[in-house]
Amino acid sequence: MPVLFESQYNPPTTFFAALAGADALWLERHEHYHKQTYRNRCLILTNQGVKPLTVPVVNGNRSEKVLTSALEIDYRQNWVHTHWRSLQTAYGGTPYFEYYADYLRDIYWQKPALLFELNVALLRFYLRCLRLPIPVEFTTEYRSSYPAAVVHDRRDWLTPKASAAPEPDTTSGTGHPRPYLQTFGKDFVPGLSILDLLFMQGPAAGSFLT
């Protein structure tokens, strides 16, 4: 059965764990943008703890009236350099940073005009890295709900707010990845971007999703 998600920027590992066993991934293309979500934000782990990286959008204060798929990235801010430097600082010493760095740099330096385009380009790259060969399809209209027999609706199931952890998804994979060794700290930190898992585990990353 398909799983329905909103597009997300460098999605958390839980996003991909929820795809285990799915027939397809549906991406919501016709919703209105929601601020302070994973749509333009991801979480990475640094030596000072969890750090959010946010993609600035044009007219951000009014963006909730704009379709997510039409939302423009604000390149007047040098956010690409800032995000890349943050990734280098946090993960430059990990086993697989250099393994993926050139591919990621190519995506960032293409500077897609739209947030949705950036998110989809990154998503397709991560699916290849994780060996998740499922088709990515896009909604053709907005629906507030879908029959449970048609699709597993996971829109806004994940949130960067620490107080709102998702319930385990028992209908599509486990819903949560297995803990793995991380760069900083002794306790496993959940909810981080898929980049954290990829940089630490490389080609074996997909085995931690089920």
Map out the domains of the chain as residue ranges.
Answer: 3-208
Q: Which of 118, 109, 126 is nearest to 56 (CA)?
A: 118
Question: Which amino acid does the sequence have at 113?
Answer: A
Q: pLDDT digit of tens for each residue in the chain (210 aa)?
A: 999 999 999 999 999 999 988 999 999 999 999 999 999 999 999 999 999 999 999 976 676 789 999 999 999 999 999 999 999 999 999 999 999 999 999 999 999 999 999 999 999 999 999 999 999 999 999 999 999 999 999 999 999 985 344 544 433 344 578 999 999 988 999 999 999 999 999 999 999 998
pTM of the complete model: 0.92
Q: What is the largest CA-CA distance in the chain?
A: 46
Dist CA 73 CA 24 (whole Å) = 27
Q: What is the DSSP letter of 69?
A: G
